[in-house]
A and B are shown apart, each in its own frame.
Chain A
Amino acid sequence: MPGPTRESNSNNSSLQPGAEEHIPPGRSLWADGIRRLRKQRLAMVCFWIVVFYLGLAAFEWIAEVRKWESPAFIRWNEIVGPSYQKPMVPYEWTTADGKTEIRREWMGTDFMGRSTFRRALYGAKTSITVALFASLISLAIGVPLGAAAGYFRGWLDELIIWLISTLSTIPYLLLLMAFAVVLRDKTVFGLELRGITSVYLAMGLTSWVGICRLIRGEFIKRKESEYVLAARATGCSNTRIIFSHLLPNVFHIIIIDLSLRFVHFIHAEVILSFLGLGETDKPSWGAMIDAARAELARDVWWEMTAATIAIFLLSLALNLFGDALRDCLDPKLRVD
């Protein structure tokens, strides 16, 4: 990994007789981190890849809600060719208006003759939505609990630690599957859990432990730091301290954890789809890979490849970007 850039020490003006006092402008952790990040080309490329995926997902989502008809690539349900057409092999096709033309599908078609390429693009929306919701749920549980445990300590801390330990003791996959199976088709607090919602919930409910521990650790560390003591001395309430002082300072940890957890959720969706617990109505990368098992026996390799490549690029980009972000935001590596 490229190491942190070494900034030259700012001029120690007191050594130069007659020079004006030059106090360098203070830089926040973020501004500094982002500045360093910008200089790493690989990380920036990854950033833009992630942005592209997110944008694609958002576009597909809007297009679906507003029932757009064009551009062509959002029409994933349209039959564009015969069943299991090979990629890049030209074929004759008669459109609905009776025109016959020669077409080529980049990534072939599925069993019904729909474009694999378009379905893979739609899959971005499915997977990213799952990962987003699951992340939000795990953050919504993990951060408050971690903050409360780290800040207030005492019996609350013991309780939360007990909860964390209990959940960590159960193997993750077992826990995830158990939750997903049990929650399926249940009605919780009047909300009917249809299919994919139970998946979000299961993932969120089983993944909050990591971020909780991190936040708790940070809060414990910083609770006794000078600026908090100062704030308390001036009579700030606990709420204010937590929300205005401590939380913003752990924000970077949340972001880094989020970026790495995102990848993890995307991969978990694949496994859950394979187990029959994932999204089933709309195209999803997991479903495409699951379909591959039977398809490969007939030498239909393109659906699986499309989904694998899509997941691979996004995971790679997120992983590398997350790593770079962590390196750049690590205050220990700052030398100013």
Chain B
Amino acid sequence: MKKRTAQLRLVIMTLLVPAAFLPPGCRKKPEPSASERMVIRVPMFSKIQTLDCGNLTDVYSIGVASQIYESLYEYHYLKRPVELVPLLAEGMPDISEDHLTYTIRIRKGIFYHDDPCFPDGKGREVKAGDFVFALKRIANVKYMSQRWTDWNGRIVGLDDFREYTKGFRRESDVDYSVEVEGLRALDDYTLQLKLTKPWPQLIWYLASAVTAPVPREAVDYYGKDILYHPVGTGPFRLKVWERGFYIELVRNENWHGGTYPTEGEPSDWENGYLEDAGKPLPFADAIVYRIIEEFQPAWLMFLRGDLDIMQIFKDNFAQAVNPDTLTATPAMAERDIRLLVFDDPSVFWIGFNMQDPVLGRNKPLRKAVSRAIDRQAAIRLFFNGVHKVAYGYLPPGLEEYDPNIVHTDYAKYDPAEARTLLQEAQRIHGGPIPPLTIAIPGTSNLDRQIGQFLQKYLEDVGLQLRVDYMDWPTYLDGLNKGKLQIFFSGASPSIPDSLDMLMGFCSWNWGYGGNHFFYSNPEYDALYRKAEPMFPGPERTRLCRQMERIMLEDYPAVFLNHRVSIAIIHGWYKNAKPHEFSYNTAKYRRIDLEKRNRYKELLNELKKKPK
């Protein structure tokens, strides 16, 4: 028995000890950036979902994909207010008199990235048919694209095509050669779209990576794995995607080329954004996106010089930002670190379910909740006082934003008035108001703090608030089905068009359509219908602002704040102008390699300096 147990011990130890030295899956590491190679290093705070252009929904995926794919149009990098310029298209589209037919010419000589899916691995030229294929794929019900809702009912014949695809078992069985009347390639370089009704927003959608041309070869070759193998035409192509770790894009040698813009806003000259006017793009040889889910290590990496750009959160605000001037603190300035402060068009709110028996017919109650909340205090507590109070719904940055909205009292903090309103509310309700319930999508510490904040302020005016902290899927489910009484949410426009935001209050968009307030106002609906086919202009702006006021009067939500973002960059990261809507901006960015290589010395010098 002695020998046996000793043997056993030996066997076990032999098994375990080598395991101790297993390198973590022998994974690839990002190559140490040689000092001559220009590599842009960016942190990402969440994993990306997919690099398949037809199914891009989350911001991070779109961000990476937009360097790989290109679409017909793109945003001008420097001009504000934002405007589109042709990218893969030859000039702006030919739009018919009735605004229903768009004829777009495609540039010749645009080639896909070299990829094994092509015969002998060489990327072929882009044809108009590829754009047709991209949209048909999104319409294919078996492909299960989340982007279909954007195109639902827009293009003549496409909905029928979708019906047609329902008859197939698998995505790959679908016969794409079926003609769709509103989506045709007139010849190899001409694309024609026919709309069911005027859709002024179409042009913005044609500037998104979602409508990038898709080569049939890639879809057939990769099947469901296409999300790992993006084949685009952009200035960068995918080299490495270590899931959960990092993504590396490298320069596309076959890129059709582009140059840095030569004009912009007046302030661009002083900010140095026009130093590289006219130079060929891209500047960088590679981009490395590091996935770092915790804030602390990301911040330290940035300070060490291992990241070129970083976000300002609550936790590094004090160290990096001077709260009065919103400029970099001396500690940052001496390392040649700068801040970029910009409006991030968005709005956050506490939404009411207008179909709720307690809230729906009781405007004084809803108004009381609005008056009870001190938005300034919330911004101070949760956002370092940087965000702007939301006096209305449309955020600054959109054309139709009304600067006069700040003079209204929709965002007033007045607990005394709230109490008076509550008495009125009680009368309407026919008794004391029962405890209200708000759903907050998240269980993190910040979410809890927000919940407790709201509870406190409502309690101060005599309202009881219960907080339900939900995980995202449960929350979404409740939101779409109208199960939540009050909810904490927000939105930002994906295109620079206010109607994109205003449709969230149309009665035909209840639930899944985006109207989570289940709000219905015939006057509002009528105005929306009127504005819908209009192209941006003074008349449309007037209608939008009118709609906003009508909705605000009904208090379907308590609007809280518009986000102001602060990014922090190193002095060597050039041309980093924030763009609120465009994602394909990496090609414009440049690294002053000499400066970056000297950073470590700079740090050492600073350490030696007497404090």
A residues near B (Cβ < 8 Å) are: 77, 79, 83, 111-112, 184-185, 194-195, 276-277, 280-281, 287, 290-291, 293-294, 297-298
Apart from the given pairs A112-B453, A294-B315, A294-B445, 5 other A-B contacts in the complex at a CB distance below 8 Å = A79-B456, A184-B471, A281-B466, A291-B448, A297-B315
Cross-chain contact A185 with B443 (CB below 8 angstroms): no
Chain A residues, CB < 8 A from B267 = none
Q: Given that A77-B456, A294-B445, A297-B296 are contacting pairs, would A281 and B474 also be in contact in the complex, using a CB cutoff of 8 Å? A: no
Chain B residues, CB < 8 A from A277 = 443
Check if B470 is an interface residue, CB within 8 A of chain A: yes
B residues near A (Cβ < 8 Å) are: 295-296, 314-315, 318, 381, 442-446, 448-449, 451-453, 456, 459, 466-471, 474
| Interface CB pairs A-B, < 8 A, 8 | A79-B456, A111-B381, A280-B448, A280-B469, A281-B466, A281-B467, A297-B315, A298-B318
Chain A residues, CB < 8 A from B318 = 298
Q: How far is the CA of A14 from the CA of B515 in the complex (A)?
A: 95
B477, closest chain A residue (CB): A185
Q: Given that A112-B456, A298-B315 are contacting pairs, would A291 and B445 also be in contact in the complex, using a CB cutoff of 8 Å? A: yes
Cross-chain contact B381 with A83 (CB below 8 angstroms): yes
Chain B residues, CB < 8 A from A79 = 456
Shortest CB-to-CB span from A64 to chain B, Å, is 14
Shortest CB-to-CB span from A81 to chain B, Å, is 14
Cross-chain contact A195 with B296 (CB below 8 angstroms): no
Q: How far is the CA of A185 from the CA of B471 in the complex (A)?
A: 10
Question: What is the predominant secondary structure among interface residues of chain A facing chain B?
Answer: loop
Shortest CB-to-CB span from A246 to chain B, Å, is 39
Cross-chain contact A194 with B468 (CB below 8 angstroms): yes
Cross-chain contact A112 with B471 (CB below 8 angstroms): no
A278, closest chain B residue (CB): B443
Cross-chain contact B445 with A290 (CB below 8 angstroms): yes
B380, closest chain A residue (CB): A83
Cross-chain contact A280 with B471 (CB below 8 angstroms): no
Cross-chain contact B445 with A281 (CB below 8 angstroms): no
Chain B residues, CB < 8 A from A276 = 442-444, 469, 471
A291, closest chain B residue (CB): B445
Cross-chain contact A287 with B474 (CB below 8 angstroms): no
Chain B residues, CB < 8 A from A297 = 295-296, 315
Cross-chain contact B381 with A280 (CB below 8 angstroms): no
Cross-chain contact A195 with B468 (CB below 8 angstroms): yes
Q: Out of A77, A83, A194, A293, which one reaches B445, CB within 8 Å?
A: A293
Q: How far is the CA of A112 from the CA of B469 in the complex (A)?
A: 19
Shortest CB-to-CB span from A266 to chain B, Å, is 20
Shortest CB-to-CB span from B441 to chain A, Å, is 11
Q: How far is the CA of A264 from the CA of B34 in the complex (A)?
A: 52
Chain B residues, CB < 8 A from A294 = 295, 314-315, 445-446
B443, closest chain A residue (CB): A276
Shortest CB-to-CB span from B433 to chain A, Å, is 18
B465, closest chain A residue (CB): A281
Q: Given that A77-B456, A83-B381, A280-B443 are contacting pairs, would A111 and B468 also be in contact in the complex, using a CB cutoff of 8 Å? A: no
Chain A residues, CB < 8 A from B466 = 281
Chain A residues, CB < 8 A from B459 = 77
Chain B residues, CB < 8 A from A185 = 470, 474
Shortest CB-to-CB span from A187 to chain B, Å, is 12
Q: How far is the CA of A132 from the CA of B463 in the complex (A)?
A: 31
Chain B residues, CB < 8 A from A298 = 315, 318
Q: How far is the CA of A298 from the CA of B296 in the complex (A)?
A: 11
Q: How far is the CA of A281 from the CA of B439 in the complex (A)?
A: 12
Chain A residues, CB < 8 A from B469 = 195, 276, 280
